[in-house]
Chains A and B, each alone.
Chain A
């Protein structure tokens, strides 16, 4: 069991999650973040921290979200750890409104 960053991170990359991660399990590229399932301790601190509800427990994924398990695992292992909050992408606020989450 792990936690997974799903589609909503795309175009947002708010990175609030990394400030509450107790174990540095977030990795990122230019577009979004990924959780390393080998490092995540399943504490769920990141779930309420995400302004766009992008992070879910593996258990709670819907059928079409399950692809994110594999994507998180492979991308995380290839990318650097993100440990500090970074500015969100310029499209983040628009995306949040589009998702009806502000």
Chain B
């Protein structure tokens, strides 16, 4: 009898947590296939990281090294539900690792949220980053004031992109359709509004410091907002408050600066959105003024009876993401995550055999790219403690290839992605930027064709 051979594992999703899971599995000797809905890998590094943060995108080089491993294969343009199901993957592989992220955004639950001019920050980010699902969105930037709701890094990215000059953005990999729209933007004042105080903000110190260095926008804040109470003081003195302490220090250096620039980013605290109003489109956002109450790290914003209004034509909500349920995988709709024990997916009765989870869909949408590495390491450790060797009869990669072929799917392998990558870099270099992203699946698949004479690849756009 032949020895069982390496464990066969398929990872669903090719963002950071998927790649870090692959890295750890490869290091343990497994054969790893990564299935991705889009023809392009890297998830939020491609579609989430801001175009003016090129350094962070260097992680793609690490992912590319991981993909170069002889036991790795990429199956881009393969969608769960359309091309293959989770149950089929569980049949084919020893283990399935779900790394699908948190792709939906949370709603405010406030009246007027669906008025034209009110949208999610995620949509805006995905649009300027060229996500195929969002390339045809349009944002009316003809108003002078925008409100961004939420105090995290995505909210800051939106503020920065709205406040930078087109000349500053031109050299980034921002999509040309977004650059053209931003060139016409009349937005001058952006209010970055949070329900709680500066000690509870989720942004990182680095992001807030960068706001203070913009060439075209001043940061405006009310010194009264930086006077924190004893519970906040206890939070920032704690090891868990190290980031908040840093950002508060930076905020103190930003207050009281003279207004010198054309645009402004107004940092607003203790305002809870109550309603979005306007005749046919967004005209103003109403807030309850709040004060904090409760123990350190459990402080809640409680309305104190006063209201405030900001006249604005655009509202971006950035109040959190949530995962989307996948057929065949347990899901906790309340938290928007997959229930798990150290990465082992838990069904009502107990562990779901061979099913694992990593990244934001495991622990919720928080943590920068690297945090996903520790998260994926934990899951892979669990997986390896459960599965000691490959099970007989698991067809793995060959089985998946056969199944996709029978269904007429046209997977994009890593070599084909490199052709897309090359095409984007070439187009970018002609325009003086690192890359000009292809934004439709049809364009991507055309670029991924090795032989221009080959019959047309099925288009899923």
Contact = CB atoms under 8 A, between A and B. Distances in A.
A92 interface: no
A53 B58 CA distance: 25
B254 to A, nearest CB: 14
A48 B243 contact: yes
A46 B204 CA distance: 12
A87 interface: no
B377 A41 contact: no
A10 interface: no
Interface string A42-73: 11111111010100010110000000000000
Q: Do most interface residues of chain A lie in helix, strand or loop, or is the interface mixed?
A: loop
Q: Do most interface residues of chain B lie in helix, strand or loop, or is the interface mixed?
A: helix
Given A22-B62, A43-B56, A101 B204 contact: no
Interface residues of B, number: 25
A19 B243 CA distance: 19
Interface in B216-270: 239-240, 242-243, 246
Contact of B239 (A41, A43, A101): A101
B460 interface: no
Say which size band chain A's interface belongs to: 20 to 34
A65 to B, nearest CB: 15
A23 interface: yes
A23 B374 contact: no
B370 A42 contact: no
Given A19-B377, A21-B373, A22-B16, A44 B368 contact: yes
Contacts of A20: 370-371, 373-374
Interface string B366-402: 0111111110010000000000000000000000000
A59 B369 contact: no
Interface string B80-100: 000000000000000000000
A61 to B, nearest CB: 12
B209 interface: yes
A24 interface: yes
B206 interface: yes
Contacts of B271: none
Interface of B: 16, 55-56, 58-59, 61-62, 204-206, 209, 239-240, 242-243, 246, 367-374, 377
Which 9 pairs across A and B sit closest by C-beta, in order of nearness?
Answer: A45-B370, A22-B370, A20-B370, A19-B374, A22-B59, A22-B369, A41-B55, A45-B368, A20-B374
27 contacts: A16-B374, A19-B374, A19-B377, A20-B374, A21-B370, A21-B373, A22-B62, A22-B369, A22-B370, A22-B373, A24-B62, A41-B58, A42-B55, A43-B369, A44-B206, A44-B243, A45-B369, A45-B370, A45-B371, A47-B243, A48-B240, A48-B242, A48-B243, A49-B374, A51-B239, A53-B239, A60-B205
